[in-house]
Structure 1
Amino acid sequence: MSILVTGGLGYIGSHTVVELINNNFEVIIVDDLSNSEKFILNNIEEITGKRPIFYPFDLTRKELLTQVFEAHNIEGCINFAAFKAVGESMEKPLDYYENNLFSLINILQEFRKRNISNFIFSSSCTVYGQADEMPIDENTPLKEPESSYGKTKQMGEEILKDFSKAYQKRVTLLRYFNPIGAHPSALLGELPSGIPNNLVPYVTQTAAGIREKLSIWGDDYPTEDGTAVRDYIYVLDLAKAHVAALKKLLNSQEETVLDIYNLGTGKGSSVLEVVKAFELANDVAIPYQICPRREGDITIAYANADKAEKELGWKSETTLEESLRTTWEWQKYLKERTH
């Protein structure tokens, strides 16, 4: 069974591709390599023993996407392809709206024309904004996101709700919290371009000496230690949730499905707790400095993922420390690879 994975050489996409192959799916990847590198394809093959079919192009190029659908009997799609830097999205909003939404619409047009169903959308907890209550479940009211990136995720969800209803399609929206960690083989992990936007790659690059010190944005939040709190979920646990969600769609007897799941651990960890856990897990010291808060950062967000456990038979299983240990192994692999 052929599954299209857009952005399949990216961070979460590549881990999900491995899990799909391990579950006997044929995987077709489309990735423009704007936020990934070609060697990841080789590493996927090294891990699984199978090389996915790969097309290097931008999904806004409709004619190339049509050729992929004509060449393969695609029975579902997991859509990761998107620009994702929150800060950059505020500086280049039109680029984000064009890339993230036009690419989504182009895939859905192919699904409509060819009467294909089974679509999984990579969404985000940013659609909740700063929720009024914790933990955040799927019924928590959505708020307008602070960033243009977050807005593209919320708009993407709305497009897919209309798509599912109007054309009787099976769709799942997966709202993830904060993915961290790397594959246990140390052959896959997060590959930030330039200065990392996310905490954990910044921590590992500081530990490796690439960055002089970690910047912690704000220590005056109303939390236990004054730093912001997030729900950090291991990337391979997240990948397994995508496979579980896909199997549920494929096995559904319903023509029209719209499922929404939060994917997180159900536990919040502060920035300082993550730094200390990394130091403990890897016996490495992290120099850091406290900086003023960043505009748009929320105080606290962690998930209630009970629905995913009940309906998908999935839950997060990997500890924060183990996740952080894998990400340090990945950083060491990258260092060896460049020498």
Structure 2
Amino acid sequence: MKILVTGGLGFIASHTVVALLEKNYEVVIIDNLSNTSLDVLEGITRITGKNPDFYQIDIRNKSDLSQFFNERPDIKGIIHFAAFKAVGESVEKPLDYYENNVAALVYLLKESCKINQPKFIFSSSCTVYDQAKTLPITENAPVQKANSPYGNTKQIGEEIILDYINSGADLQAISLRYFNPIGAHPTALIGELPIGVPQNLVPFVTQTAAGKREVLSVFGNDYPTEDGTCIRDYIHVMDLAEIHVIALEKLLDQNHAKSYDVFNVGTGKGNSVLDVIKTFEKVNNLKLNYKIANRRPGDVTTAYADTDKVEKELGWKAKRSMADALKDAWQWEKKQQ
């Protein structure tokens, strides 16, 4: 069974490709290589012993995307990762985010009608909740006005998919609302390697530990939390990869009647930025050079998941610890030297 993974050489996507291949799915990857490299494809092959089909396509290019779907009517499911993903950057470059994350989704959904009864998994985000009033955050928490263009693109993306389904489209979809993915594959053959200055905490931590960055900035220590820093739900990327396979299998089940659903994907536990730093130092036996900086636009104070729904309905639960993820992230970073 052939599954299309858009943005398939990105951080979460590449680990999901590995999980799919290990379950004997045939994977077709689209990626424009804007924030990754073909080295990731080599890493996937070395881990799995399999060679997924790869197309260098930017899904914002409607003609290239249309030609791809004309050539690949054998696709049975789509896992859509291709998107920009940094809160801070989205505040600085909102139109880039709306073009890449929203317009391209529309193009992809239009082309999906060429597939017979397509199954669609959308890479969404806990940012749709903004600062939730009740913790932990359930799927019934209200979707609030986004605090960043990035968060808004995820809200809009979910709405577009649901509107399309409600219009009568022959599509079944699941949106997975991720919390904060970290870590790397335990082989250290693939991991998170952003091009340029990292926009997320853990790659900045590892690059600082490796001496690539002089100092790690902690954005704010005056939040109403125990140590004054923001709290997030950090999930190992391998746990996150595995839920995509499970969600896909749910959609492919002939007895699955629901046309659309959403699931939180996290550990159910919150850790502060300083917790991450201290845990990283402890498990890897080193010290980080960090400083307190001003708050960053678009950041919420606290977000961690209620995972009851995904555990009960999909039978999935995060298995790996934050310490595991931080060990794996450091092993990956050391191989980049």
Give the shorter-chain TM-score range: over 0.9
Q: Secondary structure at the match of 2:122?
A: strand
Report the alpha carbon displacement of residue 67 of structure 1 after superposing the two structures with TM.
2.4
Check if 1:109 corresponds to 2:106.
no
User: 2:61 matched to which residue of 1?
Assistant: 61
1:241 to 240, 243, 248: 243
Check if 1:158 corresponds to 2:162.
no
Measured on the aligned residues, the alpha-carbon RMSD in Å equals: 1.1
Q: Is the 8 A contact 1:168 1:255 kept in 2?
A: no
2:217 to 187, 195, 215: 215
User: 2:184 matched to which residue of 1?
Assistant: 182
Q: Secondary structure at the match of 1:28?
A: strand
Q: Secondary structure at the match of 2:239?
A: helix
Q: Secondary structure at the match of 1:334?
A: coil
Report the alpha carbon displacement of residue 119 of structure 1 after superposing the two structures with TM.
0.1
User: 1:258 matched to which residue of 2?
Assistant: 260
Q: Is the 8 A contact 1:164 1:256 kept in 2?
A: no
Structure 1 gap segments, 5+ residues each: none
Q: Distance in 1 between matches of 2:295 and 2:60?
A: 35
Check if 1:50 corresponds to 2:50.
yes
Alignment of 1:291-310 (within 5 A): 291-310=293-312
User: 1:14 matched to which residue of 2?
Assistant: 14
CA offsets, 1:27-57, max 9 Å, x none?
0000000111111001100000011100001
User: 1:126 matched to which residue of 2?
Assistant: 127
CA offsets, 1:227-266, max 9 Å, x none?
1100000000000000000000000435551110000000
Q: Is the 8 A contact 2:88 2:298 kept in 1?
A: no
Report the alpha carbon displacement of residue 99 of structure 1 after superposing the two structures with TM.
1.3
Q: Distance in 2 between matches of 1:295 and 1:40?
A: 31
Q: Secondary structure at the match of 1:311?
A: helix
CA offsets, 1:9-35, max 9 Å, x none?
000000000000000110000000011
TM-score (norm 1): 0.96
Report the alpha carbon displacement of residue 71 of structure 1 after superposing the two structures with TM.
2.4
CA offsets, 1:212-235, max 9 Å, x none?
111111111111111110000000
Alignment of 1:34-49 (within 5 A): 34-49=34-49
Q: Secondary structure at the match of 1:175?
A: strand
Amino acid at match of 1:315: K
Q: Is the 8 A contact 1:169 1:255 kept in 2?
A: no
Q: Distance in 2 between matches of 1:113 and 1:163?
A: 15
Check if 1:330 corresponds to 2:332.
yes
Q: Is the 8 A contact 1:165 1:256 kept in 2?
A: no
Q: Distance in 2 between matches of 1:252 and 1:151?
A: 33
Distance 1:242 1:89, change over 3 A: same
Q: Distance in 1 between matches of 2:254 and 2:157?
A: 23
Q: Distance in 2 between matches of 1:62 and 1:11?
A: 24
Q: Distance in 2 between matches of 1:323 and 1:194?
A: 22
Amino acid at match of 1:240: E
Report the alpha carbon displacement of residue 291 of structure 1 after superposing the two structures with TM.
1.1
TM-score (norm 2): 0.97
Q: Is the 8 A contact 1:3 1:76 kept in 2?
A: yes
Q: Secondary structure at the match of 1:102?
A: helix
Q: Distance in 1 between matches of 2:261 and 2:178?
A: 14
User: 2:82 matched to which residue of 1?
Assistant: 81
Q: Secondary structure at the match of 1:67?
A: helix
Q: Distance in 1 between matches of 2:136 and 2:256?
A: 30
Amino acid at match of 2:150: Y
Amino acid at match of 1:10: G
Amino acid at match of 1:43: G
Amino acid at match of 2:292: I
Q: Secondary structure at the match of 1:272?
A: helix
Q: Distance in 2 between matches of 1:306 and 1:51?
A: 36
Q: Is the 8 A contact 1:232 1:265 kept in 2?
A: yes
Report the alpha carbon displacement of residue 68 of structure 1 after superposing the two structures with TM.
2.1
Q: Distance in 2 between matches of 1:258 and 1:252?
A: 15
CA offsets, 1:143-188, max 9 Å, x none?
1111111111110000001122221421000000000000000011
Q: Distance in 2 between matches of 1:23 and 1:198?
A: 30
CA offsets, 1:264-307, max 9 Å, x none?
00000011111010011100111111112112211100001111
CA offsets, 1:60-105, max 9 Å, x none?
1122222222222000100000011222222221121111112111
Q: Is the 8 A contact 1:7 1:32 kept in 2?
A: yes
Moved over 4 A (4+): none
Aligned residues: 335
Distance 1:256 1:304, change over 3 A: closer
Distance 1:242 1:173, change over 3 A: same
Q: Is the 8 A contact 2:232 2:303 kept in 1?
A: yes
